[in-house]
Amino acid sequence: NAGVTQTPKFRILKIGQSMTLQCTQDMNHNYMYWYRQDPGMGLKLIYYSVGAGITDKGEVPNGYNVSRSTTEDFPLRLELAAPSQTSVYFCASSYLAGQWDEQFFGPGTRLTVL
């Protein structure tokens, strides 16, 4: 299994541009998440999904959109990029089985908005 994969690894955007960060998992997990991590800080939840067709906001959703058309994919869309969105973005997935819900993280996408 490849686990959770993310593309691209790095990206530089100009202010006002848009882009989609891709996330795919091959573990058949029902839950998927997007986090952002600013320098020296912990991760903050942007959006999450509990299954195909179901998404919900996390702690910091403004400026982002998500969709979940399949179990495997959970893309994150940035519209009108702003410097405040410069961050490292991590996608994660988990399979809830009772109280066992370990989250598996991807390698991250480092985004700079200039």
Partner 1 sequence: DAKTTQPPSMDCAEGRAANLPCNHSTISGNEYVYWYRQIHSQGPQYIIHGLKNNETNEMASLIITEDRKSSTLILPHATLRDTAVYYCIVRVSGAGSYQLTFGKGTKLSVIP
Using rule CB under 8 A, residue 95 touches partner 1: no
In terms of Cβ atoms closer than 10 Å to its own Cβ (0-12, 13-18, 19+), residue 102 is: exposed
CB of 65 to partner 1, least distance (A): 18
Structure-token match 């691209």, residue found: 8
Handedness of CA 4, 56, 14, 18 (dihedral sign): positive
Q: Which is nearer to partner 1, 11 or 17 (CB)?
A: 11
Residue from the set 31, 71, 75, 77 that interacts with partner 1 by CB under 8 A: 31
Q: Which is nearer to partner 1, 14 or 42 (CB)?
A: 42
List the helix and strand counts (H, then E) for the chain: 0, 11
Which residues have CB under 8 Å from 11's CB, separation 6+?
A: 19, 109, 110, 111, 112
Residue from the set 59, 70, 80, 112 that interacts with partner 1 by CB under 8 A: 59
Residue from the set 13, 33, 78, 81 that interacts with partner 1 by CB under 8 A: 33
**Residues at the contact surface with partner 1, assessed by CB under 8 A:** 4, 31, 33, 35, 37, 40-45, 48, 50, 58-59, 88, 90, 92, 96, 98-108
